[in-house]
Chain A
Amino acid sequence: METVLKIDSLEKYYGNKGNITKAIDNISFDVKKSEFLAIMGASGSGKTTLLNCISTIDRVTSGHIYLDGTDITKLKGNSLNKFRREDLGFIFQDFNLLDTLTAKENIALSLTINKESVKNIEDKVLKVAKELEITDILDKYPYQISGGEKQRVASARAIVTNPKLILADEPTGALDSKSSRMLLEKLENLNDEFKATILMVTHDAFTASFADRIIFMRDGKIFSSITKGNKTRKEFFEDIIEVVTLLGGDLNNVI
């Protein structure tokens, strides 16, 4: 299977001389095309920093990140913006929808930023909306819809440009369990149907159990990694709990 994302000995330090915090300490891993990868870890394990580096929001200290062969740590200015709008899709914990735009306009916005031709915009929006079952709320404003619906709109916005990689930062963090399950099923669906490559950061074992593979992080390093393979989700969930227990007391209280 073809590699989409390749992380090569990545390091990210904060602070200055004499007082250095290694947020990411020499990490390397690959993500294959149409893989659903989860990264798990406690607060401060470096998982969000990793996501920020991949999304080019933050600069790396050393190492390389290749997306489809391009080293994105070398991108600057316009090519950086171009990379973000064409190759990446974002899903955030707090949705990050624009309050003044309707659901439909929020989804369309990432297409207009991408300079999609006008005649295609509405069709594309409608197609993903159908997939995520949000056609009924397309004309509503974010303050008129529920958290789960908001996150599905945000997911639609992330997928509509057909990006190489979707980055999801704690997508279920602000949702109740019913909405969480529904959203994750939809993400799973996008992964299957659209062959979307998803990289999700979470500290929740249930959320992580929807992924194909999980990388566990602790103190900026990779602690271990497990693959779902042919296991059922329930079995996979139990595997995750085992690793989490090994990871230390930190995560126990999360579950």
Chain B
Amino acid sequence: MLFKLSIKNIKKSIKDYSIYFFTLVFAVAMFYMFNSIDAQESMLKLNEAKREIIDLLIYIIGYISVFVSIILGYLIVYSNNFLIRKRKKEIGLYEILGMPKKKVSLILVLETVLIGLVSLVVGLFLGIFSSQFISILTSKLFEVDMNEFRFVFSSSALIKTITYFGIIFILVVIFNVITLNRYKLIDLINASKKNESVKFRNKYTTVISFILSVVLIGYAYYLLFTGAIVSLDKKTGIMLITGALGTFLLFFSLSGFLVKVIGLIKKVYYKDLNMFTLKEINSKINTTVVSTTVISLMLLLTIGILSGSMSLSSVFNSDLKENNLSDYTVNIYANDNKPGTFDETIKTIKNSDIKNYSKEYALYPIYYSYELHYMDFMSKEAIDKLMTEHLIGDTYTNSYMYIISETDYNNILTLYNMPNIDIKDDEYLLTANIDMVLDILTPYNSSKKGITLNNVHLRPNGNIQNIALENYTSQSNSGVVVVSDYLVKDLKLHGLNLIGNFVNTDEKLEDEFRDFIKSLEFDDSYVTIKTKTEMEASSIGIKAILIFLGLYLGITFAITSATILAIGELSRASDNKNRYRILKNLGASSKVINKSLFIQIAITFIFPLIIALIHSYFGLREINKLIVMLGHVDLTSNILLTTLFMVVVYGGYMFLTYRCARSFIKK
């Protein structure tokens, strides 16, 4: 009997709150999918370096999953509480009919367990099905072939999903029972009669809080523009708190403010149902300021994470071959930077067995001079622009410019199979490959004004050469100047680079080469080794990790905020059915009523999104200023991607909500 009742109740609410069940199923499927990457690993042809990166990805996703499950748990408990509140009258009826509280609780427990089971099974089914497509994405991202396409199934992901969601549903049961026991019978019976007191704020509160919100948000932006997002200290905290508080006050006052303003424009106010629509939105936002603020900040986080991870990953998107023109790089740093420091080291390398590993190689010392800074290679306009646009601009302009000799540079070009270059005694050649560096150095180089080194005036030999001088995951050449050999003799030493190609492509050779370099034991210096395979693997890996995490967190936050909004809107529509019936009786056509409903839902969804978009626009602008220093950033495509994602997920939820709400008020 109880079981039958539970099933009937579920059938009824599945129809009314399909969005909630859709979200449950979707959350389970997503959780399984992201945790099933371990099963895909075996399917891919991976080298050691890439395998390590995927292991790292799995490790990180494991941690993030805990966080994601907390968010989803909150969402499920919150939505469930909401649905229970809607059923007060029904619960009261059971009690009046003499059903003991324990049995009523049992009905709710049974329902939750059934819903949990159904959504788990459907979600897992969907997850297992879609993870087949994710494996194609993984192989694309890691730029590897699949051994063979076979059915991917991860038992560990399955167990993990069941455990995590099992815990969430147990929590839901506990919360349900607690809520139920707190209700008094009289409240349950009168639940539908109690009309919600309508909150409208008085004029002065509205105006004062609006002014205060503008001041607070303005101050937060001021802190943002003066580097608070980078400094990660007290200032960052103050920025976040004032920003959040300002946003809260904005939601607190803005809708009232708008109603007042639009109320003055009689032509708009007294048109069709505009008056009704506006007041409904106003009362809705007034009663849900806190959750609107939370949703808006959650959307800000979604956009920030998605767009940030996409821009950061685009740094690693650029052509890997362009960034790794040789097979390996060995950086040797000396503690002493006096001239002649590396003479011994160079001798050791040349006399060693290096030929066994690498026949072609180039050795080049990197110099610097107290006379040559970045600012000497920049026009005044470029310096001003850098200082105003970039928070750490002065670090750049005051840095020393690295210098290498003409002979060494030509050795590198020979290794790269590129034609050599002739640099006259009074000339210099500038090289770089980071987009931002090329931007800030090009104007002065084109002006042909030249520089002065060791009291010799040098002219540019031509345009800046876009070239990588060592192996790295992304663009690495932040500016190196090449001058004639006689000029470098007395300069200070920064380090010594050894770049070259291996004799074959055997993976073992790389490990042997590492051991060989370590065995050379250069005096008083330390060494780092970077190989092309390793750099490619980490570049691809970092890109993949960023994309996976961005999507995982982005989807979680987006569906959480959209679902909270959707459930709120739906329950409001069912609460206010009566209001729409009155409108109908007054002779308003369905078209006009539906239009009013659509505007209400659209504004409830779009209002927090707009505020989030404004915040994220300025926040991301600051963050991107940092990211461009790392290399090439493809801003257009990542804005496009983020927008597309938001339109599909968020817009989809909005549309579904409207469809459901419309059928509610039709009844």
Contact = CB atoms under 8 A, between A and B. Distances in A.
A100 interface: yes
A113 B197 contact: no
B350 to A, nearest CB: 86
A66 interface: no
Given A100-B280, A118-B270, A143-B198, A109 B585 contact: no
A113 B588 contact: yes
Given A99-B196, A143-B195, 19 more contacts: A57-B585, A78-B589, A81-B587, A85-B586, A88-B587, A96-B578, A101-B279, A105-B279, A110-B587, A112-B272, A112-B273, A112-B274, A113-B272, A113-B586, A113-B588, A118-B267, A118-B270, A118-B271, A121-B266
A141 B282 CA distance: 14
A84 interface: yes
A201 interface: no
Given A118-B266, A143-B198, A96 B582 contact: yes
Interface residues of A, number: 32
Contacts of B582: 96-98
Contacts, number: 80
A81 B579 CA distance: 17
A44 B292 CA distance: 47
Given A100-B279, A118-B266, A141-B198, A109 B587 contact: no
Interface string A64-92: 00000000000000100111111010100
Interface string B572-592: 000000110011011111001
A84 B271 contact: no
Contacts of B276: 98, 100-101, 109
Contacts of B273: 109, 112-113
Contacts of A116: 270
B585 A55 contact: yes
Given A112-B272, A113-B273, A121-B270, A100 B282 contact: yes
Q: How large is the interface on B (under 10, 10 to 19, 20 to 34, 35 or more residues)?
A: 20 to 34
Contacts of B197: 143
A224 interface: no
Contact residues of A: prevailing secondary structure: helix
A108 interface: yes
Contact of B585 (A90, A100, A115, A143): A90
A114 interface: yes
B275 interface: yes
Give the most central of B274, B582, B586, B592: most A CB within 10 Å.
B586
Give the most central of A85, A90, A99: most B CB within 10 Å.
A99
Give the most central of A78, A84, A109, A116: most B CB within 10 Å.
A109
Contact of A109 (B195, B200, B578, B586): B586
A111 to B, nearest CB: 8
Contacts of B589: 78, 81
Nearest to A111: B270
Nearest to B590: A81
A83 B198 CA distance: 32
B585 A96 contact: yes
B283 A100 contact: yes
A121 B272 CA distance: 12
Contacts of B587: 81-86, 88, 110, 113-114
